[in-house]
Structure 1
Amino acid sequence: MEEFRGNSVSSGVALGNIAVFAKEESEPEKKSVEDTDKELKRLNDALNLAKKELENLYNDAIDKVGEENALIFDIHKMMLEDLDYIENIEGLIKDEGVNAEYAVFATGELFSKTFADMDDEYMKARSVDVIDVSKRVIRKLTGKAEVSLESSEPVIILAEDLTPGETINLDKSKVLAFVTKKGSSNSHTAILARSMNIPALVNVDFNLEDLSKFNGKFAIADAAAGKFYVEPVDEIIENARKLEAELDSARAELNTLKGLENVTKDGRKINIFANIGSEKDVDAVIENDAGGIGLFRSEFLYLGRDQAPGEAEQFESYKEAIVRMAGKKVIIRTLDIGADKKVDYLGLVEEENPALGYRAIRICLNNEGLFKTQLRALYRASAFGNAGIMFPMITSVDEVRRIKEIAGKVREELILEGKEVGSPELGIMIETPASALISDELAKEVDFFSIGTNDLTQYTLAVDRQNEKLGGFYKPHHKAILSLIKMTCDNAHKNGIWVGICGELAGDLELTETFVDMGIDELSVSPSKVLSLRKAVRNI
């Protein structure tokens, strides 16, 4: 038996034979070319083909892992449109007279190293993405197909690393687990593995030269313990099978909770809703028996495109979600763009500290045309069911009053036009210490609060939540955070409005009883966490 250790990025256990995912991609040969115009045309054609392929991957990924996670491929597409990246490739072709394949390879290596040398762990993980998009362009130039897995039975995939494209193209029914030599918890492949509910280990300490000898051997990937066993002894196999049975039993038990109330043993009830990225995610909401949608992230309609979506497109998207939820509440957050979510067509400039900069409601209030288009779509869609509109990044009462003034005028205009409109609840997100501290005043202006604990934590503790070096300082259970949540909840109820939580803490089972005791009315989590949260509530 051989035992290896790694980092778990997606929990679970898998037993089966190993299939080595070996890539035989070598460095393109550097050639001199005389007709650089012809080479530039080859490059342009290959870039267009790669972009089209990424669009197809994006649409495929929406069905497999949802809109939010499919955004990975939109990000890759944007990388292929990055002017610095393109100009560097073109410069090598024109100035050095090299072939397009080599120019793309050299540029990919240069940009990848730039990311890899950064201190921020999240940015380090982007180095793999640059290599992935560069290899995609090279394949279009050479006509080679992407490496794929060929297996007639489910297997444990063993590889040096896996790109997002390779991961999403795998037949999920044939994959028991991912085990890779490289990778990080921030890698897009890790994110996809979690979304696909496939056990995954990265940074596993096997030698690359041993890859071929492992092919076909029986193994166990224990992502719960962070261990990988090749040809394990009987005792290890027996323990793994017990764990596998326990996990299967736990999943089956959760399914028995469908249709039951979210009520504690002493009769206290709480709503458990789901967070989604688009109307296409409603299937998962219904499948997991969520009581409603607590956060529809409308910004995903705005990303990965050349211009903002129009009123008609937004209306159809919001309407579909509202209609399909059949009377259950659907809360749609207005555009929350900026910070880590950028769109070129809005002309957002680079900021030294984007988390504290021009984002979310600040953009909407400075661009009323953009804001009104979304509000028109939202008011029209709200006529088809039980809807709420939620505004992010609030810091003052004046902001809320201005929002209500704009929203009121939009609704009046639609009525004058003879359009059918609803009367959606209007709420705000409490995600800044300022909004929590004045929540008593804010509660008099709106119908509900939804606490965004991710931003509330980073702003309260002055810790960048995307900087892994600060992981030890990012403490969502910090007394200050819980005090702000309790204050917000008390002020909401004092003023007769309801309050929910839609950030990561909503699904933190260690805090479920705390939130119930506080009187939180609603918890909104990813669809896959709904039943686990229901179980936790019913056991209080």
Structure 2
Amino acid sequence: MALIVEFICELPNGVHARPASHVETLCNTFSSQIEWHNLRTDRKGNAKSALALIGIDTLVGDNCQLLISGADEQEAHQRLSQWLRDEFPHCDAPLAEVKSDELEPLPVSLTNLNPQIIRARTVCSGSAGGILTPISSLDLNALGNLPVAKGVDAEQSALENGLTLVLKNIEFRLLDSDGATSAILEAHRSLAGDTSLRQHLLAGVSEGLSCAEAIVASAHHFCEEFARSSSSYLQERALDVRDVCFQLLQQIYGEQRFPAPGKLTQPAICMADELTPSQFLELDKNHLKGLLLKSGGTTSHTVILARSFNIPTLVGVDIDALTPWQHQTIYIDGNAG
């Protein structure tokens, strides 16, 4: 008979990547099987997998249970009961307040100059000028012809090695990170080492897929799960899954086959349909003066990083309308939008 811990989720943003990584880490210190059950959705998942936890769609106020069974179930029950009561409610940093969707009126002094203006929603204040620089978004469905399989054993070996390298790379970046960057990298480390992701990848390779094909299929599978969430905040975590999966492609096949965004060589206002956290971190912050995104909510990890680096950022931007001004000097006003 499984031991049960009953609790209510008090996290205002629900169980997304960062708190899920805390739960996963603690649960993996025990040998017992630990299952998370959301009584609202009636979804269950392995509490030792961050991806499984996110897919359960746990929101603030949800009644939940942990079901624990195994050799160390008593110890696990005692520790998890205490942790869920005392530490879990505080394991996710509060988000910065974002202004309403209503755009601020433009200053009269500016409108009198009759400039060409494109409005969008501000998510990080500040103003700057720079060369309008397009950045390619990460689209796993537009990678062209994927590498073919070289045999199950070879693909499994390449996959295991790639996962190890992704984790080492994230751990290396963590050595020189703090604050929001560190928290997001920790979430990515949790995703890269996730049991559910690894099992899904290996299953694809065992069925004859190449590593690349298995990675794209796995990303699609988990992103679809997140898209079903009733929380826009949890839906935005799909970008983190695609981010980690693309890092895995780069480690297995090299950046020449799957290149990172181009380097900035001058003060730039970058525009993109969307940008992953890793793409953002790769950009030279000495040259990155502003960010214009077509999509990306106010709580995406990329936006959170932009705030931490004080990069003026707008979302909901009409990228097509900006196309005629590519590679020309423009100005971003993250205060008025």
Where on the TM-score scale, by shorter chain, does this alignment land: which range? Answer: 0.5 to 0.7
Query: Is 2:252 the counterpart of 1:150?
Result: no
Q: Contact between 2:162 and 2:251, CA under 8 Å: does it hold in 1?
A: yes
What letter matches 2:170 in structure 1? L
- 1:37 aligns to what SS in structure 2? helix
Q: Confirm or deny: 8 A CA contact 2:271 2:293 kept in the other structure.
A: yes
Rounded Cα–Cα distance in structure 1 between residues aligned with 2:209 and 2:325: 39
Instruction: Name the SS for the 2:175 alignment partner.
Output: helix
CA distance in 1, matches of 2:188, 2:124: 23
Q: Structure 1's 212 and 46: CA in aligned 2 closer, same or farther, altered over 3 A? A: farther
Give 5+ residue unaligned stretches, structure 1: 227-540
* 1:54-65 correspondence runs (5 A): 54-60=170-176, 62=177
* More contact order relative to length (CA 8 Å, sep ≥ 6): 2
Instruction: Identify the residue that residue 119 of structure 2 maps to in structure 1.
Output: 5
**Cα deviation, residue 41, structure 1:** 0.5
CA distance in 2, matches of 1:89, 1:212: 38
Q: Is 1:57–1:165's contact at 8 Å kept on the other side of the alignment? A: no
Moved over 4 A (4+): 210-213
Q: Where do residues 81-480 of structure 1 align in structure 2 (5 Å cutoff)?
A: 81-95=193-207, 97-144=208-255, 146-207=259-320, 213-226=324-337
Amino acid at match of 1:127: A
Displacement of 1:212: 5.6
- Structure 2: which amino acid aligns with 1:14? A
Equivalent in 159, 167, 172 of residue 43 of structure 1:
159
Inter-partner Cα distance in structure 2 for 1:29 and 1:149 = 22
Residue 92 of structure 1, CA deviation: 1.1
Is the 1:31–1:98 Cα contact (8 Å) retained in structure 2? no
Gaps of at least 5 residues in structure 2 are: 1-114
Contact 2:264 2:288 in 1 (8 A): no
Q: Is the 8 A contact 2:268 2:290 kept in 1?
A: yes
Say which structure is richer in helix: 1
Maintained 8 Å contact 1:19/1:216: yes
Matches of 1:38 and 1:29, distance apart in 2: 19
The DSSP-based 3-state class of the residue aligned with 1:108 is: helix
Kindly indicate whether the alpha-carbon contact (under 8 Å) linking 1:20 and 1:211 is maintained by their aligned counterparts in 2: no
Letter in 1 for 2:196: D
**Are 1:14 and 1:176, in contact at CA under 8 Å, matched by a contact in 2?**
yes
Given that 2:180 and 2:304 are in contact with CA atoms closer than 8 Å, whether structure 1 keeps it comes out as no
Residue identity matched to 1:58? L
RMSD: 2.2
Aligned-partner residue type, residue 141 of structure 1:
I
Secondary structure of 1:16's aligned partner: strand
Percent identity, aligned pairs only, is 27
Kindly tell me: are residues 135 and 213 of structure 1, through their superposed partners in 2, closer, same or farther at Cα, counting changes over 3 Å?
farther
Residues 263 and 283, structure 2, Cα contact 8 Å, conserved in 1: no
- Secondary structure of the residue that 2:234 maps to in structure 1? helix
C-alpha contact 2:233 2:299 (8 A) present in aligned 1:
yes
- Secondary structure of the corresponding residue to residue 178 of structure 1: strand
Change (3 A) 1:220 1:32: closer
Alpha carbons of structure 1 residues 100 and 206: separation in structure 2 relative to 1, 3 Å: same
Distance 1:7 1:138 in 2: 33
CA spacing shift, 1:68–1:160, aligned 2, 3 Å: closer
After TM superposition, the structure 1 stretch with the greater mean CA deviation from structure 2, 213-222 or 35-44, is 213-222
Shift of 1:124: 0.9
Distance 2:125 2:148 in 1: 49
